[in-house]
A and B are shown apart, each in its own frame.
Chain A
Amino acid sequence: MQVRVLAFATAATKLGWREMLAECSHRDSPRAVLASLAPGFDVTGMRVSVDLDYRSWDEPIGRKAQEIAVVPPVSGG
């Protein structure tokens, strides 16, 4: 399967991209999917979403997953 991986704010700055496509399995975790695109990238302090909901970095993304986002600490307002 293929998922879209998005990065925002400091995550985008550090990764050097805002959007990539990743080939992966539904059994893969968001951490594994991101590692396939950016090996060694440090996600300390960052959250991850799958299809617009916060999820664990280490749980399988599931068969319906379409979009993963790397979400650094928020600062709206």
Chain B
Amino acid sequence: MTHEIIFTGEPIVPPAVPALREIGASVEFSGIVRETEGDAKLEGLRYEAYEPMARRKLDGIIAELAASHECGSVLFIHRLGWVPVGEASLFIRVLAKHRGPALRMCGEIIERLKADVPVWKAADDGAGAPGGFSC
């Protein structure tokens, strides 16, 4: 199984799904910044990462999950910096022969991301005004 991990400061534009004769399922997830967080109304979120460690953790997580979920490839893109409401902060695409492993793989990557990968988001005004990092 192959995987690609991308951290970018630019809006996420998912590439076209490659035409592969053995792929029967393409599962995609987009995490989108929403306007409300509890009672607060947001303009966006600011993301930061400890990127070398985040890559290392994601490499390990995806390799570990690949041992139990038969998939062909994983594309993982996480945006960093300021992300306005309505835009994607995260995109994951899993390609597999069958939908079951692809769906499970995608879901488990998200769960592990939220538990162990050093990426943080903070609510602020995009100009550096403090709003605090959520956990």
| Residue total for A at the interface (Cβ-Cβ under 8 A) | 18
B48 touches A9 (CB 8 A): yes
Interface residues as binary, B100-117 with A (CB distance below 8 Å gives 1, 0 otherwise): 000000000010011111
Q: Closest B-chain residue to A6, C-beta based?
A: B50
In the bound complex, how far is the Cα of B53 from the Cα of A76, in angstroms?
Answer: 13
Interface check B93, CB cutoff 8 A: no
- Chain A residues lying within 8 Å of B48, measured Cβ to Cβ, are 8-9
Residues of chain B having any CB pair with chain A under 8 Å:
31, 47-50, 52-54, 56, 78, 89-90, 110, 113-122, 130, 132-135
In the bound complex, how far is the Cα of B134 from the Cα of A13, in angstroms?
Answer: 12
* A71-B118, A72-B120, A77-B113 as given contacts; A10 in contact with B132, CB under 8 Å: yes
Q: Can you report 26 residue pairs joining A to B where beta carbons are below 8 Å apart?
A: A6-B50, A8-B120, A9-B48, A9-B122, A9-B133, A10-B120, A13-B132, A13-B133, A45-B135, A49-B53, A54-B116, A69-B50, A72-B133, A72-B135, A74-B114, A74-B118, A74-B119, A75-B114, A75-B119, A76-B47, A76-B49, A76-B119, A77-B31, A77-B78, A77-B90, A77-B110
